[in-house]
Structure 1
Amino acid sequence: MNFRPAIKFCSQCGSATEQAIPSDGDTRLRAMCTGCGMVHYQNPLNVVGCIPVTDDGRILLCKRNIEPRWGKWTLPAGFMELDETTSQGAARETDEEAGADIEMGRLFSVISVPRVAQVHLFYCARLRSETLNPGYETIEARLFQPADIPWDELAFRTVSITLQRYLEDRAAGSIQVHNIDLT
């Protein structure tokens, strides 16, 4: 399944594009402008988020107030913006979705999802306060004991896998970085 919509017009000059392989040694079909020759590259989007955890081990989840997957639970995460690092984006998304004050930790998981042209990056994070102020994208932000995580109500497979790996690592006493390909 090709998730990427075709680029039909050049963003530089407005001319139509055609699918062709650039002559610069590239090996993939690209949208190439028939007017000015500009090559339009389409690359995956980065989704950045974190696993916010209290000192006593509860995990922050947010109930989505937007599609896709309205009403389902997720870790705070979203699309990375220009001019920010992945960890800055994860912190911003956590503030926007949960109004949570966190101390950002290290990278925990990198999950490639080629079917939807995305890469999901999750960081470990420590909640500095249990005061939450969810934004408009969130119906409810709540702290869950690991045994109470609503596994059947999680919004995304990447969130489920990240939480499973986090809890496995925590039980083993060694938090690792996980590189996962969802094909």
Structure 2
Amino acid sequence: MKVLIHLSTLSNRKVSMSRLLSIFKQSKKSLNFLNRSEHAWFFESQQVAEVFSTLYLVTEKHKNVRQFLNQTIFTPSNGQYASAVKANVNLIIIYPELTYLMKSGKANQAIGILFHEIGHLILDHQGRGTSNELAQIEADLFSLELGYGEFLLSFLNEQRRSEQIEKRILALEKVLRIKYSSDSLQN
């Protein structure tokens, strides 16, 4: 059974988090990711639950990313936005700033950041010894490939400018221009 639910469209916005969890439990495919005890914190906030639900649903056509999600733990912590750690288990640390984005109407930017972090792990930047500059751009392009490049670009444009941020913005803009040019030629 496919769960295609956007929590923001629920008629009763006061649906309890236990009810949301029971909705997700109906899908056997989502049990690995959404029903992990480590992920119970997703359901403390409707907006956070919606972000992770969307993140999971977006990967339906990307089986390798879906499988990766089922082997990844997302954990809240203090710090800035998010970090990815390669260990015996894939671990993505969620910092308060990212949770704030999830709760403040910038869910798509948050998903773009999460796909960026997932990209670091899937592309094995640490294992390959990829330079930080190249790793950031590759992770951005991974997020773009999953449909969240424009949201990540919007997020980056709101950040304090540094040389690295500028290079990331230029790379995303260049690929997005090529994508749009290619799309318009096909139509």
Bigger-Rg structure (1/2): 1
More strand by share: 1
Give the structure, 1 or 2, with the largest relative contact order (CA under 8 Å, sep 6 or more): 1
More helix by share: 2
Q: What TM-score, normalized by structure 2, do the two folds share?
A: 0.28
Q: What TM-score, normalized by structure 1, do the two folds share?
A: 0.28
